[in-house]
Amino acid sequence: ILKTTEFISANDLASLMDVSVNDVIGKCMNLGIFASINQRLDAETITIIADEFGYDVKFTEADDETEVVEEKDRPEDLTDRAPIVTIMGHVDHGKTSLLDFIRESKVTAGEAGGITQHIGAYDVMTDSGKKVAFLDTPGHEAFTAMRARGAKITDVAIIVVAADDAVMPQTKEAINHAQVAGVPMVIAINKVDKPNANPNKIKEELANINILVEDWGGKYQCQEVSAKTGAGIEDLLEKVLLEAEVLELKANPAKSAVGTVVEAELDKGRGYVTTIMVQAGTLRVGDVVLAGAHYGKVKAMFDHKGKKVDEAGPSTPVLMLGLDGAPQAGDRFNVMESDREARDIANKREQIQREQSMRTKKHITLDEIGRRL
Ligand code: GDP
Ligand code: MG
């Protein structure tokens, strides 16, 4: 048995098997792969070649050359942080309206912005003086996409159901996503301002899928709201905070920042603009950031009001300028000690991404070759 990570070079594979690298390259050629000594081989190729030399391959953990070892938290360094909330629910049940109402009513207007751009996340202060951060990417596609990339960013999910409609397929899907992710839910029964609103019918339908709300003796907090009039929204936020309290969300604000990419795009004037959610530590202008396969020095940061900020602590979303490309939503970001370290890892990750996309393209060819052998 041969233990290795994926993507070792032809040379490394040869030395692991104690054969000459020329023999490995020769076998590659038989497979139609023209490998150089230092070329990294993908898992499939490694498996086939090792087999030729009589080895079974067992792949070990991801290549640690591309992993960033994050600082461990000591309990005494941890302080409370705000919950990060995602709103999910069926189309037209009012996700966008709810997000907009919360953003507009809770954000103090008037601040002259240095940048005007809708960013994919924002944070608000509730009347009780506590912060709540929202991911402004309604719909569970974003939630699922992020989770698929291993990002654990949502602390509490708000499930919106329109009181004049019903528990719909996407409502059930959203509930399912939150449950699978182990994220607590607060139900928002929206559009209660409408004359034909029937919140009790919604509660009954929820009960039918085993979501029993609190006032019916269940464990799920539920709030009737109107994204149109604003009724119940403050209470909804308090319920979210209550849910968060149970989770005892904490982070160390003193360490190097870590967090998740929410969205990124190329702006003609300003280069790559990246919305990130800082999850722990504090990010500062001038820090070297590694995000997915990209890196760069933070040139400037803005909050969701467009106001320039110099630093951002845990559970704070910011828009940052300075990366050399657009990382993907859900990519983790880390602050690195040096430019060089960040560049090295970014380059390796990029190479692996390239090789992986080549491998998926090559897959059929290899299978065909296998059949011919
Ligand atoms: P989304 O698809 O879940 O993002 O739903 P939207 O926020 O786009 O809302 C769908 C429609 O419902 C829009 O026409 C909104 O104006 C309307 N709407 C949303 N919330 C309310 C509400 O609380 N009351 C009323 N009367 N209409 C609402
Ligand atoms: Mg919408």
What pLDDT does 360 receive? 54
Using the atom order of ligand 1, give the atom closest to the CA of residue 99: 7
Measured from the CB, is residue 171 less than 6 Å from ligand 1?
A: no
CA–centroid distance, 151 to ligand 1, in Å, is 29
Which ligand neighbours the alpha carbon of 99 most closely?
A: 1
- pLDDT per residue, tens digit, the chain (373 aa), is 777 777 788 888 998 898 999 999 999 888 888 888 888 888 888 999 999 999 988 876 655 678 888 888 889 999 999 999 999 999 999 998 999 899 887 654 444 444 556 678 899 999 999 999 999 775 666 677 777 776 789 999 999 999 999 999 999 999 998 998 899 999 999 999 999 999 999 999 999 999 999 999 999 999 999 999 999 999 999 999 999 999 999 999 999 999 999 999 999 889 999 999 999 999 999 999 999 999 999 999 999 888 999 999 999 999 999 999 999 888 999 999 999 999 999 998 898 888 767 655 555 455 554 554 4
Structure tokens at 169: 């397929």
Measured from the CB, is residue 11 less than 6 Å from ligand 1?
A: no
Measured from the CB, is residue 21 less than 6 Å from ligand 1?
A: no
Measured from the CB, is residue 31 less than 6 Å from ligand 1?
A: no
Q: Which residues are known binding-site members?
A: 89-96, 136-140, 190-193
Measured from the CB, is residue 137 less than 6 Å from ligand 1?
A: no
Using the atom order of ligand 1, give the atom closest to the CA of residue 90: 3
CA–centroid distance, 97 to ligand 1, in Å, is 5
Using the atom order of ligand 1, give the atom closest to the CA of residue 190: 23
CA–centroid distance, 190 to ligand 1, in Å, is 8
Amino acid at the residue 209: I
Measured from the CB, is residue 253 less than 6 Å from ligand 1?
A: no
What pLDDT does 373 receive? 46
Which ligand neighbours the alpha carbon of 194 most closely?
A: 1
Measured from the CB, is residue 50 less than 6 Å from ligand 1?
A: no
Structure tokens at 4: 């290795």
Measured from the CB, is residue 227 less than 6 Å from ligand 1?
A: yes
Amino acid at the residue 198: N
Minimum CA distance residue for ligand 1 atom 6: 94
Q: Which residues are known binding-site members for GTP?
A: 89-96, 136-140, 190-193
Minimum CA distance residue for ligand 1 atom 22: 191
Cα torsion 366, 368, 369, 373 to 10°: value is 140
Per the document, the length of the chain is 373
Structure tokens at 257: 């920042």
Measured from the CB, is residue 93 less than 6 Å from ligand 1?
A: yes
What pLDDT does 116 receive? 54
Range 92-95, long-range pairs (CB < 8 A, 24+ positions): 92/162, 92/165, 93/160, 93/161, 93/162, 93/165, 93/168, 93/171, 93/190, 93/191, 94/160, 94/162, 94/190, 94/191, 94/227, 95/138, 95/139, 95/160
ipTM of the complex: 0.99
CA–centroid distance, 286 to ligand 1, in Å, is 41
